[in-house]
Every structure is written in structure tokens, then in C-alpha cells.
Amino acid sequence: RILRVIHAPIFLQHFTSNRTHMRNPDGNWIAPPPNYEPIKAQDGSKDNLDEYIRICAADVMTDINASVDGIYSNKYGVLISEDKLEAFFSFIH
């Protein structure tokens, strides 16, 4: 398993979803959308839900130091393999 780890303040600043994933190819709603407004990024980013859910084994971090730095600097966080997760969280201060 691969997990995406993102520092919460960075996630809240950059994540946005305009609900296009909730529409079929004809543009009709697959299910009624929530009553609240779509999530908008504080930085003005456009829909980036796909970037957050995209997982590629080639992008998994193996260097714990780089992984820790990445959660504080990369708006999409870092990808960590399940077997490195304990070491990763043990390393964070």
C-alpha cells in the first residue's frame, strides 16, 4: 500500500475541487451535489483533486529525510509506502 501524507495547513491552502468528478460525460450530475459550496483553494488553484488522488509507485519516497522535508514544501505532499510509514512518523519532530 502507498499513502499520501500532506501537512494539513499546506493541504488547506492548495486543495480545490470543483465537483467535475461528480458529473457524467454528458455533464449531468451522477448524484445530487452537496448543499455547500465547492472547496476552493486559498491560493486560487483550479480543480486539482486528480493530483491528490493520483498514486504512482515511481513517486514513492524512499529517503525519510526528503520525505519529511516534502510534507512541508510540496503542495501534494509525499507518497510513502506502508512499510516506511512507521519510520517516517518516528522521524517527524
| Residues sharing a CB contact under 8 Å with residue 22, sequence separation 6 or more, in sequence order | 29, 30, 31, 33
Is the entire prediction scored with pTM above 0.75?
yes
| Distance in angstroms between the alpha carbons of the first and the last residue of the chain | 24
Residue 87 is part of which domain span?
Answer: 2-91
- Structurally, the chain folds into a number of domains equal to 1
pLDDT tens digits in sequence order for the chain, 93 residues long: 999 999 999 999 999 999 999 999 999 999 999 999 999 998 888 899 999 999 999 999 988 888 888 888 999 999 999 999 888 888 775
pLDDT of residue 68: 84
52 DSSP β-pair partners: none
Query: What pLDDT sits at residue 93?
Result: 59
